[in-house]
Structure 1
Amino acid sequence: MLLSSASLASVSLQPIYAHEASNWPLETFAANGLFRQIAHYQNRHPEAVVISGGHYDLASLASQLPTDRALQHTDNGWVLHYPLVIAPDASLTIADTRLYLEGHHGGCLINRGTLTIHNASLASNGDNGSGFIHGWGGSHIRIEHSTLSDLGRKDYRAHGLTLARHRYQGNGPGATLQIDDSRLTHLYRGISTETGSELQARRVQIRDTREQGMVLGGSNSQLDTVIITNAHGHGLRLEGRGATRIFDLTSQANRGSGVLMEDYRGPLSVDRLASTDNREYGLQIKGGKADASARLAQLTLQHNGSDGLRVDSPIVITVSAAHIDDNGRYAVSLDGQQAPVSARLQQLTLYHNALAALHTRGQGAVDIEQASLRHNSQRGHYLAGNLRGREFDLLPRLVSGQPLRIDFTDSPATALPASPR
């Protein structure tokens, strides 16, 4: 049983059973094939290393294990061959060293207590058998001045660096992750969070992920100076009920969208986003509820394969100081077919987008002020969709810089001066 005693610090090898009530910290991963990997290497009933109470580093941990088959010291650092569970009253520090998680043997870190990674390098196999780091509800992970490489696989909650609260934990506290001045390279997914988790990421680089760069689901998150490049999917994905504060995010050259916000519920505040050279959208906002809001300032959405900004969501969008240029379709596309769209756009440059500067369909309203437009269409249109037939009327007022409110539907659109503030 993977249980711990708060009154006694110990390190032990404990058997892993399939019965969820005693094995829940590992049950999720065992169902994903971890048992098979463990059994192949251990050649007996699967066991995990469990730290119950106390504080350990890798050397003190190894000194209390009966065999080096679980944790082995080499000329290049350490190799973990067994799953390692940190109990709620225990802590592990990995500092000034290298740790290789031998995923093909079952090596992974399951945190229920406190895990600190400082000035260290953690790596794994870089394939669908890779080791991973997972934090359960109530746990704390602190990573600083470190590099994580080749962790994670496509299996549920084993994507690389993940936070989640197990159903057996009820409504207890979520997991927390603080990561500072660190690099994540070639993980299956850079960082994943689930409902109730908290994330603070500062000066973090995520590149070459085998799936999405970062997926924040229902968490409270703060991102400060984060760079995501060359993800196989979206750079950053936001979903679920949470609160997100972003300052200085670069999402570049990803195979999906730079940023995707899907069925997100809660406030989003962005100051300084550069989303460029992505295969799909620069920033896509879809689904969600009308009680959510997004305040976006200082945007650079350029050279994306589709629209710079795509909105088909009922949440209230405010955009100020944005350069949305040279995108493969529209600079801004507002789609109110599923639910009315509401957007306020201020201080925009919409230059040389392939189809048009502004595209609308369905129903909604957009307030525009201080917009500069240059088209890159052979037909010379600035407006498209259900505004195209009104371009002659709307364009002089758009380029005048004065506030303009446009209510649009798939029936003829109307434009009114903005109401006094």
Structure 2
Amino acid sequence: MSEFHLEKIAGVSFADIFGSDEVSISFEKVEAFLDQMVVVASEKAKTSPNQLVRLVHNGQVFWMTQQQAAEFLKKGSDPDIRKEVEQALRGELKSVRQELEILLAIAFYMLHQYKENSAIPQEEIDRIEPSLRRRQKEIAEGVSSTTESEAILAEKRRRNPLISHYEEKMGEFLNCKARGDLVRAAALAKELALEKKQYVLQSRSIEPDIRTIYYHRLNLQKTKKRLLSTQSDLCSSRQGLLKWEVNELKNNLGMIREELDVADREGMDSAASQIKRLRQYDTETMEKNMMEKSMELVALQCESDILARKEKETESVIAHIAENVLHEQELKIDIAETTRQTNKPLFQTETKHQSTIAKKKSSGMHISKFKDH
């Protein structure tokens, strides 16, 4: 599949939206950014804002024409799931949080716009608005729990410097091998062999904390999936109403044209002629309105397709973490208990018997142990 070059598309980075000093951001500021960027993108593309397609990708928000969106869907590169999992589990938490907050802000922005313009049914607004509030709470709690767990792990690593020392040396060893510096690699291999036993003993003590962090980060990915799903629901709701409106316009146009045909056949006086001119104006306005709504429908379908792809990618990341890292152990966790005791590891250190069993089956603790599919 050939690559699609997003750098040619109008967009704004998360860094531009959040700024260098901001820990978090208000929805009002995101809305202001979105309003501003939509205007810029529509002027650049010489099209209506309603006909643009939005995409959140690699730390940026893009606005595309329908043609560009179709090309992206056709030529966009398949995601590297291992890389996505690496980012989800080990990437900077700030980046994970910013992506979630942007997705949440966009969903609120869509809802606000549709609500103001009565662009979706009220029952959909009543259903979606509380769900977005829940997502907002999930993000705050998930980021807080992850931050706390990572701080606990960092402190344990600080008290056991051999762990970081060994891992850094392992990284240097792998780099030397990759560069072809076999002499240095051989020397490092000997040092690693001498330190391995002590490293294994010490690293085992932090495994529950690592798994706890992975669990929290997995939940953040689940929140991401829910946000993408909510955006899809908003698109779908808007599409449903638009289709009804387009159908109504078609019916009304048909009725007006039929009236005009009758008037032409039966002859007209001056008053009837004036009415015809007004009706003709109505048809032109309605045709223009119908065309705009039809184009918006196409844009919404493109955006829905992009959201579906993004949701599928996130599902793959979630499945990979659950199956190859946590081995679905998250299904056994009491969420209520976790909420009450966020400072305790969610996973206990293995007993000797469990450790023996684990030797027969990879723990899936580290990303380097992912299975190939």
Shorter-normalised TM range: under 0.3
Which has the larger share of helix?
2
TM-score (norm 1): 0.20
**Of the two, which has the highest radius of gyration?**
2
Which has the larger share of strand?
1
> Which protein has greater RCO, CA pairs closer than 8 Å, 6+ apart?
2
